[in-house]
Amino acid sequence: MKGLAEVPPGVREHEFLALEKARVARNYIAHEGAGAIGGLEGKSVQHMLNALRKLHANVIDLANGDHLVSTWVHQIEDPSAPFWTSTDNLEWVESWVFGNIPQEWLDGDWGPDHQPPRTIREAVFYKPWYSRPRQ
């Protein structure tokens, strides 16, 4: 088991670290990710935003690992082919998975100006922060 934690021959350390992060991210997404966000009932807005941000980070880590392995396979199949860059791939994955989510939700420094209604009168005219026009 100790040998599995060492960088294999022929693999650069940053590649090994990317693959390790991808392995952890895959396990998080498969076993915890969707459950962490969960249903809308009984969870605070901040809890759901934190879970969404953690899912976002894990999707990016998994995409990095997938891109690394795909690049190796591509180079093995066609050694004369140009080396792929990961920026286009990551942007595509991020857009595909998170494209319909407002980008500020993924920003750790952003928080909603959420103040739930305190009275019935306020509730009648209440408009949730996520359905207000963006500024």
The confidence score (pLDDT) of residue 1 equals 40
Read off the pLDDT of each residue in 110-130 and give the average, rounded to a whole number: 72
Res 134: pLDDT: 65
Whether residue 122 is predicted with pLDDT greater than 90 in this model: the reply is no
Supply the pLDDT for residue 43.
Answer: 65
**pTM of this structure:** 0.69
Share of the chain above pLDDT 90, in %: 11
Residue 101: band (very low, low, confident or very high) from pLDDT cuts 50, 70, 90:
confident
| pLDDT, tens digit, 9 for 90 and up, residues 73-99 | 888 888 887 766 666 778 888 888 888
Token digits of residue 109: 């420094």
pLDDT in tens, 46-77: 788 888 899 999 999 999 898 888 888 888 88
Mean pLDDT of the chain: 79
